[in-house]
Amino acid sequence: MHLLIIEDHNDINAMIQDYLQKQGFQCDQAYSGTEGRLYYSTNDYDLIILDLMLPGLSGEELLEDIRKHSNVPVIVLSAKDSLDSKVNVLGAGADDYLCKPFELEELLARIQVQLRKSNKTSINTALQYKKLLLDSEQYDAKINDTYLNLTKHEYLILELLIRNPKRVFTKEEIYEYAWNDTYYGDDKTINTHMSNIRKKIRTQVAEEYIKTVWGIGFKMAE
């Protein structure tokens, strides 16, 4: 996956680039609107991360120009957290809007959602946590070479948790990642899927792999 990061703050740009490269992405870096336009006009990208407050061309101007030529997914980063700013940018063609400051794990999850929407295959073909090995080509997981026969939603829940094993995810975050839809407080759906995942894991190992953090959500058990 080839991404373009357009962010004028050197430290933030470097932090994003370093994290995403460790996740398997190839990242180009631009530090101004003018430089960003040069990059995307001469390269094909799977996704663009775009800051709004840029020297040269602004992020809003860049977004308008991008949408004249491409439907590449664009995630906007901004310190502007007002509803009007979000509505205006999303209405102008951005696919997602992330307010600063943000967690890198959340940025990664949002990138994965956008890549799935555009039918792009995400990063590594296999992820592992302890004895649990995910296989993204099969949308399944196995322990000791035995497949668990996961459903697609069960697989996506495990994928999110394993990519960020120390982070606690809320039910809303899990639902929006696995179902790619808005969460309306349907706790039963999440709880049922978590129960099914745990049962399938227990057929192979006695150890608990998923921890419930009461009042917040779920994470991988340490």
45 and 131 belong to one structural domain: no
pLDDT, tens only, 142-166: 998 899 999 989 999 999 999 888 8
Q: How many domains does the chain have?
A: 2
Parent domain of 111: 2-117
105 and 18 belong to one structural domain: yes
110 and 61 belong to one structural domain: yes
Kindly state the DSSP code that residue 7 receives in the 8-state scheme: -
pLDDT score, position 121: 43
What is the distance between the alpha carbons of residues 185 and 172, in angstroms, rounded to a whole number?
A: 7
pLDDT, tens only, 19-56: 998 888 889 999 999 999 999 988 889 999 999 999 98
Report the residue count for the chain.
222
What is the distance between the alpha carbons of residues 190 and 204, in angstroms, rounded to a whole number?
A: 22
**CATH classification at residue 15:** 3.40.50.2300
Report the Cα 185 to chain-centroid distance in Å: 21
What six digits make up the tokens of 209?
């792999």
